A and B are shown apart, each in its own frame.
Chain A
Amino acid sequence: AQSVTQPDIHITVSEGASLELRCNYSYGATPYLFWYVQSPGQGLQLLLKYFSGDTLVQGIKGFEAEFKRSQSSFNLRKPSVHWSDAAEYFCAVGEIGGSQGNLIFGKGTKLSVKP
C-alpha cells in the first residue's frame, strides 16, 4: 500500500540555523512529490513539487527539496530558518499518469523556531 512517512513529529531549530525535514514514501509507480506548509488554523500552501527531471527542486520562501529514488526520500531543506517559518509541514505523494489525481499525505512535522 502507498504510504508517506514523516519520522519527526516536532522539530525545534534556532532562527538562522539550517533545517531539514524528512519524508519517506512507499509507492509502486513513478511518484510525484510535494511539500505543503500550514500555519495554525489555515489551509495548506504548496511549497514545491517534483514531477521529473532535476532531482533538486526549488520552491517558494527559500525552500528546496531533493528527490532520492534509491532512498525513497524527498527531504525538505532551508539553509537559514526565519521565525516566520514556524508552521506544520506536510509531504505528499501522487502517481504520475494516475487516473484519480489523489494525493497521500504524511502526518506532518511541526516546526518551532527559537529566537
Chain B
Amino acid sequence: DGGITQSPKYLFRKEGQNVTLSCEQNLNHDAMYWYRQDPGQGLRLIYYSQIVNDFQKGDIAEGYSVSREKKESFPLTVTSAQKNPTAFYLCASSIADRGEQYFGPGTRLTVT
C-alpha cells in the first residue's frame, strides 16, 4: 500500500537533547512538508521541500532542521534550540503542482 510512515509514534527526550523524527513516503510525491500541531493552534508549517536537496523554511522553522537527500525521505531534527518542543508533529507529501497533501500518522514528542 502506498502511503506515508512516521516513526516512532511516541518519542520522549530530555531537555537539551536533539531528536530526529522520521518521515518516509512511497507515493512518488515530489513535495514533502513538516507541520507542528498544538491544541487549538491548527497546523503550523515548519519546513517544506519541493525537490531533492532543496528545502525552505516555513512559518516556525527556528530550532528545527531538515534534510532531503532522497525523494522518499524527509527527516526532521528538533534541536535543543527549540524552546518548546513538546508537540504533535505531522509529515505530509503532495504532487508538486497539486495542492492536496497526504498526511502521515504523526509523532508525539514529549520533552521533559
List residues of A whose CB falls within 8 A of some B CB.
Answer: 9, 32, 34, 36, 41-46, 49, 51, 90, 94-96, 98, 100-103, 105-108
Task: Pick the residue among A32, A44, A46 that contacts B90 (CB under 8 A).
Answer: A44
Q: Is the interface of A mostly helix, strand, loop or mixed?
A: loop
Instruction: Report yes or no: A45 in contact with B99, Cβ–Cβ below 8 A.
Output: no
Q: Count B interface residues, CB 8 Å.
A: 29
**A49: B residues at CB distance < 8 A:** 99-100
Task: Pick the residue among A46, A90, A96, A101 that contacts B96 (CB under 8 A).
Answer: A101
Q: Is the interface of B mostly helix, strand, loop or mixed?
A: strand
B45 interface hit (Cβ, 8 Å): yes
Instruction: Report yes or no: A43 in contact with B105, Cβ–Cβ below 8 A.
Output: yes
A90→B35 CA distance, assembly (Å):
14
B14 interface hit (Cβ, 8 Å): no
Chain B stretch 3-21: residues in CB contact (< 8 A) with chain A: 4, 6
A42→B107 CA distance, assembly (Å):
9
Contact (A46, B104) CB under 8 Å given A9-B40, A100-B48: no
Instruction: Report yes or no: B42 in contact with A103, Cβ–Cβ below 8 A.
Output: no
Q: Output the nearest chain A residue to B108 by Cβ-Cβ distance.
A: A41
Task: Pick the residue among A32, A36, A42, A101 that contacts B106 (CB under 8 A).
Answer: A42
A101→B94 CA distance, assembly (Å):
8
